[in-house]
Structure 1
Amino acid sequence: MLYTRCATLAASLLACLSALAASCASAQDTFPSKPIRIVVPYAAGGSTDQLARAIQQPMEKFLKQPVIVENKVGAGGAIGTESVVRSAPDGYTLVFGNSGPNAILPLLRKTPYDPVKDLRPISVVAVTPLILAVTANNPAKSLKDFLALAKKSGSSWNFGSVGNGSLSHLTGEYFNSMAGLDLLHIPFNGGAPLMIALASGQLQAAFITGLDGMAMAQAGKVRYLAVTSPARTKIFPKLPAIAEQVPGFHSVAWFGVLAPRGVPDAVAEKLHEAVVYAVGRPEVEKMFTARQVEAHSSSPQELAQMIRDDMKQWGAVAKHSNIHLD
Structure 2
Amino acid sequence: MLNKRRNLVLAAGTLALAAALPAFAQEPFPSRPIRVVVPYAAGGTTDQLARAIQKPMSDFLGQPIIIDNKPGAGGTIGTDIVAKATPDGYTIVFGNSGPNAIVGLMRKTPYDMLKDLRPISTVAICPMILTVPADSPAKTLKEFVQLAKQKSGEWNFGSVGNGSLSHLTGEYLNTLLGTKLVHVPYAGGAPMMTAFAGGQLQMAFVTGLDGAAMVGSGKVRYLAVGTPERTPVVPGLPAMGEEVPGFNTVAWFGILAPAGIPDVVANKLHAAVVHALAQPDIKKMFTERNVDPRPSTPKQLEDMIKGEMNQWGQVIKKQNITAG
Question: What TM-score, normalized to structure 1?
Answer: 0.88
Conservation of the 8 A alpha-carbon contact between 2:74 and 2:163: no
Which of 65, 68, 89 pairs up with 1:67? 65
Aligned residue pairs, count: 302
Query: What secondary structure, in the 3-state scheme, does the structure 1 residue paired with 2:184 have?
Result: strand
Counterparts of 1:195-210 in structure 2, within 5 Å, are 195-210=193-208
Conservation of the 8 A alpha-carbon contact between 2:44 and 2:189: no
After superposition, the CA RMSD in angstroms is 1.8
CA distance in 2, matches of 1:142, 1:28: 61
How many Å apart are 1:199 and its aligned residue?
A: 2.6
How many Å apart are 1:182 and its aligned residue?
A: 2.2
Which of 98, 101, 104 pairs up with 1:100? 98
Partner of 2:225: 227
Larger CA deviation: 142-151 vs 230-239: 230-239
How many Å apart are 1:29 and its aligned residue?
A: 8.6
Counterparts of 1:1-326 in structure 2, within 5 Å, are 30-326=28-324
How many Å apart are 1:27 and its aligned residue?
A: 6.2
Unaligned runs of 5+ in 1: 1-25
How many Å apart are 1:163 and its aligned residue?
A: 1.8
Q: Residues 290, 258 of structure 1: CA spacing in aligned structure 2 closer, same or farther, 3 A cutoff?
A: same
CA distance in 1, matches of 2:145, 2:26: 54
Larger CA deviation: 251-260 vs 33-42: 33-42
Query: What secondary structure, in the 3-state scheme, does the structure 2 residue paired with 1:139 have?
Result: coil
Conservation of the 8 A alpha-carbon contact between 1:27 and 1:267: no
Larger CA deviation: 204-213 vs 296-305: 204-213
How many Å apart are 1:200 and its aligned residue?
A: 2.7
CA distance in 2, matches of 1:62, 1:296: 18
Conservation of the 8 A alpha-carbon contact between 1:230 and 1:249: yes
Amino acid aligned to 2:120: I
CA distance in 1, matches of 2:314, 2:26: 41
Conservation of the 8 A alpha-carbon contact between 2:74 and 2:161: no
Amino acid aligned to 2:61: L
Conservation of the 8 A alpha-carbon contact between 2:80 and 2:111: yes
How many Å apart are 1:303 and its aligned residue?
A: 0.4
Query: What secondary structure, in the 3-state scheme, does the structure 1 residue paired with 2:94 have?
Result: strand
CA distance in 1, matches of 2:302, 2:179: 32
How many Å apart are 1:38 and its aligned residue?
A: 1.0
Q: Residues 277, 27 of structure 1: CA spacing in aligned structure 2 closer, same or farther, 3 A cutoff?
A: farther
Conservation of the 8 A alpha-carbon contact between 1:77 and 1:101: yes
How many Å apart are 1:42 and its aligned residue?
A: 1.2
CA shift digits 1:90-136 (9 cap, x unpaired): 11111000111111111111110011000000000001011111112
How many Å apart are 1:289 and its aligned residue?
A: 2.1
Amino acid aligned to 2:288: A
CA distance in 2, matches of 1:120, 1:277: 20
How many Å apart are 1:305 and its aligned residue?
A: 0.7
Unaligned runs of 5+ in 2: 1-23
Query: What secondary structure, in the 3-state scheme, does the structure 2 residue paired with 1:181 have?
Result: coil
Query: What secondary structure, in the 3-state scheme, does the structure 1 residue paired with 2:152 have?
Result: helix
Conservation of the 8 A alpha-carbon contact between 1:28 and 1:266: no
**% identity of equivalent residues:** 63
Query: What secondary structure, in the 3-state scheme, does the structure 2 residue paired with 1:79 have?
Result: helix
CA distance in 2, matches of 1:230, 1:118: 32
Partner of 1:11: none
Amino acid aligned to 1:75: A
How many Å apart are 1:230 and its aligned residue?
A: 3.0
CA distance in 2, matches of 1:28, 1:293: 39
How many Å apart are 1:28 and its aligned residue?
A: 11
Conservation of the 8 A alpha-carbon contact between 2:33 and 2:63: yes
Larger CA deviation: 180-189 vs 305-314: 180-189
Conservation of the 8 A alpha-carbon contact between 1:134 and 1:223: yes
CA distance in 2, matches of 1:82, 1:37: 14
Amino acid aligned to 2:222: Y
Query: What secondary structure, in the 3-state scheme, does the structure 1 residue paired with 2:151 have?
Result: helix
Runs of 4+ more than 4 Å apart:
26-29
Conservation of the 8 A alpha-carbon contact between 2:241 and 2:247: yes
